Amino acid sequence: MSELINKIYANLNYQKQFGNLLYVDKDVKVKDLKNEFINEEVVIKKEVKSNNISKNSVDKNWDKSESLDILRSNIHNCMECELGATRKSFVFGSGDPKSKILIIGEAPGADEDEQGVPFIGRAGKLLTKILEAINFSRDEVYIANIIKCRPPENRRPTKDEVDQCEPYLKKQIELLNPEFILALGLTAVNTLLKGDYKMKDVRGKVLEYEGRKLLITYHPAALLRNPTWKRQAWEDVKQLRAMYDEYMGKNS
Ligand code: URA
């Protein structure tokens, strides 16, 4: 057991020196602990939360970041919630920072965690196809999530995780300054609107989020489970394309 603890502390030191990007071992070893070591696991997790990594994980002036790159570098070592200890990658967002369209999903899954890019797994491939169907490539829009680290087992993010991470997204939105936001699924919608909406109440409508037009459709993972919803999603993204074209026509 002490060998295991030594390894875990060695990993934490490694993380302290090199940051999360190079810190890939994380608490995989912790997960391997047998039941008799559960108490030690709790102690180790507390240690992860209370040591200096947590305090120094984010630049204290991150909210003054003047560009997306600076924001990313100021927050990418975040350890402010427990997901910091289990993630492989901090999935900041990807696409064209000048795009007028921001697409917001829920949280990175396993593939995204592996590669550090949002929406590249099965749901992501469907999102790419949906975008292509309205003549956008992924690189013409910007894609991000409500939270930046993968929840274990792809569970829904907890309220605490969302509360901790949402300010980063808000800052990102301020810097991106999109005209249109497409929220994918109810986690995105209800986080942005601070409500408890059902999809039938919100999709197909043009709502507003902090002075930007907010459109809503099904999360691609939901479309994979319920392909009959694809027709409605198609109507939603066509509406986005039409509004975008109209906006660009007036503003070019
Ligand atoms: N689901 C999401 O909400 N976001 C991703 O990045 C991938 C899957």
Residue-level pLDDT at 20: 47
- 37 vs 213: CA distance, rounded Å: 51
The tens digit of pLDDT for each residue in 111-147 reads: 999 999 999 999 999 999 999 999 999 999 999 999 9
Residue-level pLDDT at 15: 52
**Crossing angle of helices 122-133 and 230-251, rounded to 10°:** 50
The tens digit of pLDDT for each residue in 74-113 reads: 999 999 999 999 999 999 999 999 999 999 999 999 999 9
- 120 CA distance to ligand 1 middle (Å): 8
Lowest mean pLDDT among 14-23, 98-107, 136-145, 236-245: 14-23
Residue-level pLDDT at 11: 53
Q: Is the pLDDT of residue 1 over 70?
A: no
- 49 vs 8: CA distance, rounded Å: 14
- 91 vs 224: CA distance, rounded Å: 22
Q: What confidence category does residue 13 fall into, taking pLDDT thresholds of 50, 70 and 90? A: very low
Residue-level pLDDT at 27: 43
Q: Is the pLDDT of residue 71 over 70?
A: yes
- 230 vs 57: CA distance, rounded Å: 41
Measured from CB, residues less than 6 Å from any atom of ligand 1 are 105-109, 112, 118-119, 121, 123-124, 145, 221
**Which has more confidence, 26 or 233?**
233
Share of the chain above pLDDT 90, in %: 76
Q: Is the pLDDT of residue 37 over 70?
A: no
- 218 CA distance to ligand 1 middle (Å): 12
Residue-level pLDDT at 252: 80
**Across the chain, what does the average pLDDT equal?**
86
Q: Which of 88, 91, 104, 112 to mutate to test the pocket of ligand 1 (most atoms within 8 A of CB)?
A: 112
Q: Which of 138, 145, 191 to mutate to test the pocket of ligand 1 (most atoms within 8 A of CB)?
A: 145
Domains of the chain in sequence order: 88-251 (3.40.470.10)
Token reading at 32: 């391997």
Residue-level pLDDT at 29: 44
64's CB contacts (< 8 A; 6+ apart) are none
The tens digit of pLDDT for each residue in 158-187 reads: 999 999 999 999 999 999 999 999 999 999
Atom in ligand 1 nearest the alpha carbon of residue 219:
3
